[in-house]
Amino acid sequence: MSRKKLTVVGAGHVGAHTALWLALKELGDVVLLDILEGAPQGKSLDLMHASPIEGFDSRVTGTNDYKDTANSDVVIITAGLPRKPGMSRSDLISTNSGIIKGVIEGIGKYSPQAHLLIVTNPLDVMVYAAWKYSGFAPERVMGLSGALDGARLRAFIAMELGVSVEDVQAMVIGGHADEMVPLKRYSTVSGIPIGQFIAPDRLDAILARTKKAGGEIVGLLKTGSAYYAPSAAVAEMAEAIIRDKKRVIPCAAYCNGQYGVKDMFIGVPCVLGTNGVERIIEVSLDADEKKAFDNSVTAIKGLIAELKLG
């Protein structure tokens, strides 16, 4: 049985760290692609030098040529400009949609059966663009949203309570933006609702911090955006697909009536397996949650309109 093949497009901080997580998980051989000559080759060689130390047998190679990505099972797209302080994700639309279009042309030519996992911001809009540009079945196109946002919420809850992150579950739906919707009713510690551990005002502060977590890191770094957690989160999604784990992970998926949303991608709980987004799980939302989710939908629709893709 031949090894699986995973391509990471973009050899910046997010892309290089994604390649690292994928190799550590031994999901298959990894190709790191970038337009910058030498960058993917150098980082891939550096990763290969780490393989005897960490004991992974995934082969990591770097390239500037889409031919080397041929027949990839999963393609993770991290290419694009990162946010700078004072920038919103929507400020990136025109530049990054152009980058996505070029990437999709290369990937579509050489890996027409691949699953596309999008990390580029503004996330929900770039997933929609990737779907439109590629013509791929919508279940094979998805974006990093709740997998990352939920991890951030889980981390904050564990930090607040002094408990293991392994025992914390949290669900964040909606767009990967300030309009995201953390669902505190569906967040637990070893099955116990977090409302039994954390006072309402403190919990509200944690939820608010979760919404702004990406911006908080941008403000601290001053010269870029987060990369450890985003890369780990998208690697988790790739693992669910490659290993057919049927993981329930919130991600930006194509909705065709679920949650009252049609013909757009937004963060919802999904079952991820070998067929990509195999099922969207619809949970009941109370009035406040539904209002927040609808606000998120409206914001994304406005950004999609700016793409003028029809």
According to the model, what pLDDT value does residue 40 have? Answer: 98
Q: What is the dihedral of CA 207, 212, 214, 217, to 10 degrees?
A: -110
Angstrom distance (rounded) from CA 98 to CA 126: 10
Residue 11 pLDDT: 98
Q: Give me the pLDDT at residue 307, please.
A: 85
**Strand partners of residue 277:** 272
The token duo for 17 is: 């760290």
At residue 89, the pLDDT reads: 57
Active site residues: 176
pLDDT of 178 reads 87
Three-state SS letters, 68-84: HHCCCCEEEECCCCCCC
Domains of the chain: 5-143 (3.40.50.720), 146-307 (3.90.110.10)
Q: How far apart are CA 253 and CA 239, in angstroms?
A: 17
pLDDT tens digits for the chain (310 residues)? 789 999 999 999 999 999 999 999 999 999 999 999 999 999 999 999 999 999 999 999 999 999 999 999 999 999 988 766 776 656 778 889 999 999 999 999 999 999 999 999 999 999 999 999 999 999 999 999 999 999 999 999 999 999 999 999 999 999 998 899 999 999 999 999 999 999 999 999 999 999 999 999 999 999 889 999 999 999 999 999 999 999 999 999 999 999 999 999 999 999 999 999 999 999 999 999 999 999 999 999 999 988 877 6
Task: Please report the sign of the dihedral spanned by the C-alpha atoms of residue 147, residue 152, residue 157, residue 163.
Answer: positive
Residue 310: the pLDDT is 61
Residues 158-217: pLDDT tens digits?
999 999 999 999 999 999 988 999 999 999 999 999 999 999 999 999 999 999 999 999
CB 173 within 8 A of CB 181: yes
Element (H, E) at 224: none
Read off the pLDDT of residues 125-148 as tens digits, 9 standing for 90 and up. 999 999 999 999 999 999 999 999
Average pLDDT of every residue of the chain: 95
